[in-house]
Amino acid sequence: MNNDVQGRLPLSEPPKPLPPAPKPQAVPSQIRFARILVAADFSPCSNNAVEWAAAFARQFQARLWLIHVVELNYVGSGLGEIEVPLLEAELRQNAQQQLTQLTQTLLAGLATETVLRLGRPWHQITEAAKELGVDMIIVGTHGYTGFKHVLMGSTAERVVRHAPCPVLVVRQTELAAA
């Protein structure tokens, strides 16, 4: 093999070094959760998530926000007109009563505030997390797979994708195993 450089074009400038790769987010040497948001839909699964949030809040002496999102799906029916404002008001009132009950039972003795919103749950949860500046979101999941997952979607999955902070996803069976 001939090592001469005939026929090659000379380089006018040496190649520029590549820019440094972005540094991965540093993991703090001590993890501290001072502000925690937990989502509740009042199912046994979300109650497990609330219990996990209570344990984290006690461990880290954190402030806790308990959020519930009322999702109205407007579907026509053969039953006649539905007074949407009345339906919304009733759903909000029932949700607020259940939030209050959760704070008095599962979250007793903790610095807790409730948040009640209207809209798509995953969107409202992630927006509340941004607005409140929370360090962690805790959500429950039913763990549906296959057709049921496609049909129902996954609020937890969407929260993980759009959250501004770490998300702990609690499966329905995880609390019993802990």
pLDDT in tens, 66-110: 999 998 766 555 555 566 777 888 889 999 999 999 999 999 999
List the beta bridge partners of residue 167: 137
Is residue 102 located within the same domain as residue 125? Answer: no
Is residue 126 located within the same domain as residue 165? Answer: yes
Is residue 69 located within the same domain as residue 93? Answer: yes
For residue 144, is pLDDT > 60? no
For residue 46, is pLDDT > 60? yes
Asked whether residue 94 is domain-assigned, the answer is yes
The residue segments making up the domain with residue 104 are: 65-73+80-109
CB-based contacts of 84: which residues, under 8 Å, 6+ apart?
Answer: 72, 74
Is residue 161 located within the same domain as residue 124? Answer: yes
* Distance in angstroms (rounded) separating the CA atoms of residues 111 and 34: 11
Lowest mean pLDDT among 3-17, 31-45, 111-125: 3-17
For residue 117, is pLDDT > 70? yes
Asked whether residue 160 is domain-assigned, the answer is yes
Asked whether residue 138 is domain-assigned, the answer is no
Asked whether residue 37 is domain-assigned, the answer is no
Asked whether residue 127 is domain-assigned, the answer is yes
Is residue 98 located within the same domain as residue 125? Answer: no
Is residue 127 located within the same domain as residue 158? Answer: yes
CA–CA distance from 25 to each of 28, 30, 76, 158 (Å)?
A: 9, 14, 48, 21
Lowest mean pLDDT among 1-5, 45-49, 132-136: 1-5
Q: What is the pLDDT of residue 6?
A: 53
What percent of the chain clears pLDDT 90, i.e. is strictly above it?
A: 53
Asked whether residue 51 is domain-assigned, the answer is no
What percent of the chain clears pLDDT 70, i.e. is strictly above it?
A: 69
Q: How many domains does the chain have?
A: 2
For residue 172, is pLDDT > 90? no
Question: Of the candidates 156, 152, 134, which has an alpha carbon nearest to the alpha carbon of residue 48?
Answer: 156
Asked whether residue 124 is domain-assigned, the answer is yes
